[in-house]
């Protein structure tokens, strides 16, 4: 019995010592932090994770848990009150806003970054550019061989996103005129998956956020024209993305339930800070222009 008590005592001392060491090293801050939950766009997942990590180290009162799943998943979670913030690579639909209001949620929209969706093909593909009409034809099944759009005699293998993706929704509206995709389009669960598939497939094509396209080593970005008469632009052309000359330029959003306060506001302030916007640029996206950034900061403090 005495031996058992000695062992229990030693274990208790070790546990107390571990807790004490953790308090000394971390100031006990981890236990005191308020958790902000955020879910949604896979395009934004790496960006928001990087921001959350830097934010964590910049203060000792808030931590942000970021998960993906797609813009639609995040928006639905916000509507149901399951998360504090939805990250979305498209604007909320009128029907989603109505559903939110019916559920007692008041979505407030914040633009936090700019993206140019990139069309990528395998590095060995000799295609030099596409029009929006040609791109639509590839994704609706009209064109099945690269020689039909100015390329080599090679079958086209088409990759896209799953239907819960904000990028899928944006592409369907901007390129497909809301028409259906071909059944031959392979739906992938994220930008990284599309990038890998295109790099591994000689005739592959896919659409991804510019940050992901820039990281690809065996794929190249295809210039895009609004029509036959328009100049071709790349999503790496900053001016073309900002003035929307590049046809697939878009805003990236965070949605909160009402004008945020407390920990959520503290997090949003960081995202819209100069430091936060620098992280946006480091992740391969574009910062908000000064006027848009000020408008978002004003909205945050309304």
Q: Is there a domain that residue 22 lies in?
A: no
Q: Is there a domain that residue 9 lies in?
A: no
Query: The CATH number of the domain where 183 resides is what?
Result: 3.40.190.10
Are 88 and 74 in contact, with CB atoms under 8 Å apart? Answer: yes
Domains in the chain: how many in total?
Answer: 2
Please identify, among 242, 263, 291, the residue that sits at the C-terminal boundary of a domain: 242
Asked whether residue 220 falls in the same domain as residue 265, the answer is no
* Whole-number pLDDT of residue 271: 98
Asked whether residue 227 falls in the same domain as residue 292, the answer is no
Are 260 and 37 in contact, with CB atoms under 8 Å apart? Answer: no
Token pair in block for residue 254? 């965070």
Query: What is the distance between the alpha carbons of residues 88 and 41, in angstroms, rounded to a whole number?
Result: 5
Residues 76-93, mean pLDDT to the nearest whole number? 97
Please identify, among 196, 215, 242, the residue that sits at the C-terminal boundary of a domain: 242
Q: Is there a domain that residue 134 lies in?
A: yes
Asked whether residue 107 falls in the same domain as residue 50, the answer is yes
Q: Is there a domain that residue 21 lies in?
A: no
Asked whether residue 122 falls in the same domain as residue 237, the answer is yes
Residue 184 has pLDDT above 90, yes or no: yes
With CA atoms as reference, report the closest residue to 44 among 273, 238, 210, 224.
210
Average pLDDT of the chain, as a whole number: 90
Q: Is there a domain that residue 7 lies in?
A: no
Spell out the residues 6+ positions from residue 12 whose beta carbon is closer than 8 angstroms to its own. none
Please identify, among 221, 242, 263, the residue that sits at the C-terminal boundary of a domain: 242
Asked whether residue 127 falls in the same domain as residue 222, the answer is yes
Asked whether residue 149 falls in the same domain as residue 108, the answer is no
Asked whether residue 58 falls in the same domain as residue 98, the answer is yes
- Domain of 278 in residue numbering reads as 31-114+251-300
Asked whether residue 159 falls in the same domain as residue 203, the answer is yes
pLDDT in tens, 208-225: 989 889 888 999 999 999
pLDDT in tens, 252-286: 999 999 999 999 999 999 999 999 999 999 999 99
Eight-state DSSP code of residue 60: S
Q: Indicate the pairing of strand 157-161 with strand 204-208.
A: parallel
Q: Indicate the pairing of strand 186-188 with strand 204-208.
A: unpaired
Asked whether residue 99 falls in the same domain as residue 130, the answer is no
With CA atoms as reference, report the closest residue to 250 among 128, 112, 96.
112
* Whole-number pLDDT of residue 28: 41
Q: Is there a domain that residue 77 lies in?
A: yes
Asked whether residue 218 falls in the same domain as residue 161, the answer is yes
Q: Is there a domain that residue 72 lies in?
A: yes
Asked whether residue 99 falls in the same domain as residue 153, the answer is no
Residue 6 has pLDDT above 50, yes or no: no
Count other C-beta atoms under 10 Å from residue 141's C-beta.
15
Q: Is there a domain that residue 268 lies in?
A: yes
Asked whether residue 187 falls in the same domain as residue 255, the answer is no
pLDDT bucket at 80, cuts 50 / 70 / 90: very high
């Amino acid at each position: 019995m005495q031996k058992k008590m000695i062992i229990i005592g030693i274990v208790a001392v070790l546990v107390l010592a571990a807790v004490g060491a953790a308090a000394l090293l971390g100031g006990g801050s981890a236990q005191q932090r308020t958790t902000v939950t955020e879910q949604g766009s896979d395009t934004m997942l790496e960006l928001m994770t990087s921001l959350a990590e830097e934010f964590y180290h910049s203060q000792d009162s808030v931590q942000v848990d970021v998960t993906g799943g797609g813009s639609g998943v995040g928006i639905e979670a916000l509507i149901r009150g399951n998360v504090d913030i939805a990250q979305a690579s498209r604007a909320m639909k009128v029907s989603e806003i109505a559903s939110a209001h019916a559920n007692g949620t008041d979505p407030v929209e914040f633009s936090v970054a700019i993206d140019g969706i990139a069309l990528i093909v395998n590095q060995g593909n000799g295609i030099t550019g596409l029009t929006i009409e040609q791109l639509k034809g590839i994704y609706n099944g009209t064109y099945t061989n690269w020689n039909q759009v100015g390329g080599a005699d090679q079958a086209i293998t088409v990759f896209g996103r799953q239907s819960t993706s904000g990028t899928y929704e944006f592409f369907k509206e901007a390129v497909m005129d809301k028409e259906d995709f071909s059944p031959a389009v392979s739906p992938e669960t994220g930008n990284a998956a599309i990038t890998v598939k295109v790099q591994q497939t000689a005739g592959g094509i896919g659409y991804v956020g510019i940050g992901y396209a820039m990281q690809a080593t065996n794929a190249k970005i295809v210039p895009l024209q609004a029509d036959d008469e328009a100049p071709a632009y790349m999503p790496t052309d900053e001016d073309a993305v900002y003035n929307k000359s590049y046809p697939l330029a878009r805003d990236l959003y965070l949605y909160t339930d009402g004008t945020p306060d407390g920990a959520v506001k503290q997090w949003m302030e960081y995202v819209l800070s100069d430091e936060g916007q620098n992280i946006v640029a480091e992740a391969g996206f574009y910062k908000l222009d000064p006027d848009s950034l000020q408008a978002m900061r004003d909205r945050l403090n309304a």
